[in-house]
Structure formats: C-alpha cells, structure tokens
Amino acid sequence: MKNLIFINGTMGVGKTTTSKILQKQLPKSVFLDGDWCWDMYPFIVTEETKKMVIDNITYVLNNFISCSEYENIIFCWVMHEQSIIDDVLSRLVTRDCKVYKFSIICSEEALIARIKEDIKHGIRREDVIERSVPRLQCYYNMDTEKIDVSNISPNEAAEIIYKQVISYGGTTS
C-alpha cells in the first residue's frame, strides 16, 4: 500500500518547505509541487491553462503511483477549493493507496510575516499578500486535516504529517 499525501494551503504558508522536509523523512518518496506543472511566463490563468495544469498534475501523479520504486507520494499545491482536490483525486488510480489530505493554515499575522520574509529574500513579490490573505479562510471547511503553523516551524509541521502517515500503516523501510 502506497501513501498519497496531499498538502494544500494559501501562497506563502509553507507547503513547499514542509513537503520537501517530509520527502526526506519518508522512505522511497517522491514530491510534486503543482506549481511546477504550469511554471510559465507570463503567468496566464484561463480555462484552457487550468485544464492543462490538472492534466499535467494527474499524469505525473499517476506515473508516480504506478512506479514500484515509490512508497510515498507527496503532492502540494494551493488547491483553495474542495472541488480541485476532488477533481485531481477522481483522475488518479488510488486503489492501492492510502490517501492523506492536509491543509496548512495559520493566522493572518503569521502569513503576512512569512510572505514579507520571502519578499525580503526575493522569493515573492509584494502583491502576493493581497492575493494570499483572502484565501486563508478557504481551507477551514475543506475535507482535510488542519495543521496550524502560526507558531510552529516547517520541520514541526512535517513531523506532524510524518507521524500520522506512519501511525496509520505507513512504511518506514
């Protein structure tokens, strides 16, 4: 049985950092950041590009699932609507997978502080704050396990996920 781990949250909350740490903790793991599937310039969001990115994500995830070398598949992306998670999952062959869904959440103050730190290091632009903060509330009513990172590090968030995956029959080989 493979572990398929979805991690969502608004921009700047720490999904990618947490996922990369988790990838190193779990054996035979592979990591996909949904943003990699439509890293384009200029960034264009249309019905066509949204369809393309979902197709790209599900293609890659299904390949990871079907590859015998991987036991743990970690996927992170904003996924600010339950319908996005449901759409991706509906296209995956998960019969031999235990699916985990986590939302990384935090206070508005913590999110702004994290994004400002990223801006200072040239990782993000200022406009991310106005796009990310309003999406915080989207994650509270989703069918996911919530991890509040307002006062914990990405290492601690990864450890919470790791313990849940391992305690529910995950592998540590």
Provide block-wise average pLDDT over 10 residues at a time, the chain (173 residues): 97 97 98 93 92 97 98 97 97 97 98 95 92 96 97 98 83 46
What residues form DSSP beta bridges with 91?
Answer: none
Strand-strand pairing, 72-77 and 145-148: unpaired
Task: Check: pTM over 0.75? Answer yes or no.
Answer: yes
The per-residue pLDDT for range 63-94, each reduced to its tens digit, is 999 999 999 999 999 999 999 999 999 999 99
- Cα(120)–Cα(115) distance, integer angstroms: 9
Asked if residue 27 lies in contact with residue 72, where contact means CB atoms within 8 angstroms, the answer is: yes
The per-residue pLDDT for range 50-59, each reduced to its tens digit, is 999 999 999 9
